[in-house]
Amino acid sequence: MTPHPATDRASGGAGRRLAGHRLLWPALALLALLLGNLAFHHDFFAVRVRDGHLYGSLIDILQFGAPLILVALGMTLVIATRGIDLSVGSTVAIAGALACGHISTAARPGSVATMVTAVALALGVALVLGLANGLLVAGLGVQPIVATLILMVAGRGVAQLIGDGQIITVTSAPYKMIGGGYWLFFPFAVLLAAALVALTAFVTRRSALGMLIESVGGNPAASHLVGIRAGGLLALVYVFSALCAAVAGLMISSNVSSADGNNAGLWIELDAILAVVIGGTALTGGRFSLGGTVLGALTIQTLSTTVYTLGVPPETTLVFKAFVVIVVCLVQSPAFRAKALRRRRTNAPRPHKTAGAAPQHQEAGA
Amino acid sequence: MARRAALVLTAALLASSALTACSTEGPGSGPAAATKARSGGPITMGFAQVGAESGWRTANTKSVQEAAKKAGITLKFSDAQQKQENQIKAIRTFIQQKVDVIAFSPVVESGWDTVLKEAKDAGIPVILTDRAVDTQDASLYKTFLGSDFVKEGKSAGEWLTGAYANQPGPVNIVELQGTTGSAPANDRKAGFADAIRSDGKFKIVASQTGDFTRAKGKEVMQAFLKSQKDIDVLYAHNDDMALGAIQAIEESGKKPGTDIKVISVDGIKDAFVAMTQGKINVVVECNPMLGGQLMELAKKVVAGETVPKRVETEEGVFPQDKAAAALPSRTY
């Protein structure tokens, strides 16, 4: 995991800078998956206009990937502070249950006003949940994994309580818009996710906020010494993460017009963490990459679609996914690439006898 | 929670089928002990429920409570909140209170021998509902009342072969499986495959798990609609996946129920609503409303009559034309 090879190469020409770009490998992995699909299913890249909106596998990946992108977006900032937020899946379930619960009992379920209050209610509660996480982590110094585990376990119970253990079905055209509607040919969820990613990138990169988050995660002691108040920042990222999860929850429940407290957002926290890792943000905190996270989330969603397209039997799906994830992670690791590349380079000119020993010499020299 | 329940159910069903084979002398040893406890007056039943983990379970509880009232049976109800120790405690309490019959849905399949032995020694007959237990001694319970998932799959397949009897093939079917490895998923798949095997024109062109949820059902169906050129029939292992898939079919510009026939299992209210709108063609019921059957069995058992070791719940097949009539009576 040494960063040196990458930075060395980046100082070269334009081509070398591209090769050293941290988003190159996640992007290549995603591209390879998409091309793999194309090989099996020739219509895979086809996007048509149907009923006034775009229709095709790629659009599906974007639409179903949108909630994961949002959850992973919040997770990226949390991980950048050396934290982790396991409670996002439960927040997804709570947000969906609250919104659908409100709409189903409202006097006029189909009105825009009902939808707005439902969304506000879900986001308001998510704000409180995020604050609770932030308070535990920043105020009381509880380890993030433990602090958020509490809400992860309890939250799903809360979501079930809201729905009385039942799936809440709603019929509301304005609410359906959030996750299942289309605007300007595109799924509204995709546009919403894109807007939120852009806004987050703008705020973190155009102000000092991103750097402050990275410094708190990269070296808490040093950032404390230079006078950065970590408490507020930590609370902020957990609130942000909860809000992102809530919007994702609204999308998921809106897409199927129902809230399922048991299953909505189940294990999405793990997918989100994986997306962040595939995107090149280290779990040890510090530098983060929002673009990488988006690529990571899309890679995971593409993987699911691949399983359906190829007809991988359900019994082997998990093994297949794990295999792809291992390959993607290895390809991403600079240390692994350095080893693999060196082995190939040294193999070519030398006779076979010394091929085995050669890489080790090189390794020692480096 | 539903998944775990399903998993337990698989194991329980397997165990029970193995048990029934070697339990011919079971019922004979019981009646004498059972009748001993009766001394006239209304029957008292102790019922230890799993919990309230799903809508299906809630409906199950309601059914038992209402049926008891109707049958004039005094019901002592206990909710185990998914914990075996709570259920064992409840059963011990029932034994101390000298109820006439104990019924329960075991949270897990094993570890019941001791407490069931206590019930047997006290002369109180035990009825299992919905899930079976894993025990070497089949005389510990009188009967097991629950659904047969293989039969549900078979009913779904038989409806399909009937509906396409006079039409030329091929009939391309996509299947949305339940949670991988769960009893309902395995059995409903096997039963369905069995029923359509005899006719070569029926082809399952794609089969993936939708995890019994609406969101996954929709996601998988959207992928199917793009990767499969021609889909005639959708077979979903539960209503929720079917309801999700229907939305995917509609969004692709096709008409569910007409362009693509939809077969589903369970019989929740939302599915009946969709059926009255013509979006689902047939629902095979998986019935949680076993209260009435349970009370009948309880009366027989308490009276010392012999009952079959395995009783299947009464489950109907509801095609579209029956949906409107049945809708008002759907409570879950």
Which pLDDT score is estimated for B54?
62
Instruction: Name the residue among B53, B213, B220 with its Cβ closest to that of A260.
Output: B213
Looking at the domain covering B2-147+288-314, what would its CATH class be?
alpha beta
More confident call, B150 vs A360 = B150
Which pLDDT score is estimated for A186?
92
Q: Residue B6: pLDDT band by 50, 70, 90 thresholds?
A: low
Q: Where are the domains of chain A?
A: 22-343
More confident call, A50 vs B48 = B48
CA-based nearest residue to A262, from B147, B82, B10 = B82
Average pLDDT in the B122-138 region? 87
Q: What is the pLDDT of residues A217-254, one digit of tens each?
A: 999 999 999 999 999 999 999 999 999 999 999 999 99
Count the helices and strands in chain B (H runs, E runs): 13, 12
| Contact yes or no for A252/A63 (Cβ under 8 A) | no
Burial of A195: CB neighbours in 10 Å, binned 0-12, 13-18, 19+: exposed
CB contact under 8 A, A167 and B55: yes
Q: What is the pLDDT of residues A173-212, one digit of tens each?
A: 999 999 999 999 999 999 999 999 999 999 999 999 999 9
Which pLDDT score is estimated for A364?
38
Q: What is the pLDDT of residues B251-303, one digit of tens each?
A: 899 999 999 999 999 888 889 999 999 999 999 998 888 899 999 999 999 99
Q: What is the pLDDT of residues B102-122, one digit of tens each?
A: 999 887 778 899 999 999 999
| Contact yes or no for B39/B213 (Cβ under 8 A) | no
Q: Residue B8: pLDDT band by 50, 70, 90 thresholds?
A: low
Q: Which amino acid is at B231?
A: I
pTM of the entire predicted model: 0.79
Which pLDDT score is estimated for B102?
96
State the alpha helices, DSSP H only, in B22-54: 26-29, 31-36
Which pLDDT score is estimated for A41?
84
Average pLDDT in the A86-104 region? 96
- Give residue for tokens 């509607």: A181
| Residue range(s) in chain B whose domain bears CATH number 3.40.50.2300 | 2-147+288-314, 149-286
Q: Which CATH number fits domain A22-343: 2.40.160, 1.10.10, 2.60.120, 1.10.3470?
A: 1.10.3470
CA-based nearest residue to A294, from A306, A278, A310, A305 = A278
Three-class SS of A205-266: HHCCHHHHHHHHHHCHHHHHHCCCCHHHHHHHHHHHHHHHHHHHHHHHHHHCCEECCCCCCC
Average pLDDT in the A333-343 region? 84
ipTM: 0.82
Gap from B192 CA to chain A (nearest CA, Å): 17
> Is 50 exceeded by the pLDDT of residue A358?
no
> Is 80 exceeded by the pLDDT of residue A145?
yes
Looking at the domain covering B149-286, what would its CATH class be?
alpha beta
What SS3 class is residue B54? coil
Q: What is the pLDDT of residues B162-193, one digit of tens each?
A: 999 988 889 999 999 988 877 788 889 999 99
CB contact under 8 A, A314 and B58: no
Q: Could you give the percent of chain B with pLDDT greater than 70? A: 87
Q: Residue B2: pLDDT band by 50, 70, 90 thresholds?
A: low
> Is 70 exceeded by the pLDDT of residue A366?
no
Average pLDDT in the B15-39 region? 41
Residues of B with Cβ-Cβ distance to A165 under 8 angstroms: 52-55, 57-58
Half-sphere exposure of A12 (CA within 13 A, CB side): 12
Residue A331: count of CB within 10 angstroms of its CB: 15
> Is 70 exceeded by the pLDDT of residue A321?
yes
Identify the closest residue of chain A to B250 by CA–CA distance: A51
Residues of A with CB under 8 A from a CB of B: 41, 43-44, 50-51, 55-57, 60, 64, 164-167, 169, 180, 252, 255-258, 260, 262-264, 304-305, 307-309, 311, 313-315, 317
Gap from A251 CA to chain B (nearest CA, Å): 11
Mean pLDDT, chain B, as a whole number? 85
Whether residue B331 lies within 8 A of chain A, CB to CB, comes out as: no
**CA–CA separation, A175 vs A254, rounded Å?**
6
Whether residue B306 lies within 8 A of chain A, CB to CB, comes out as: no
- Substitution target from B227, B273, B279 for chain A, most A beta carbons within 10 A: B227
CB contact under 8 A, A64 and B180: no
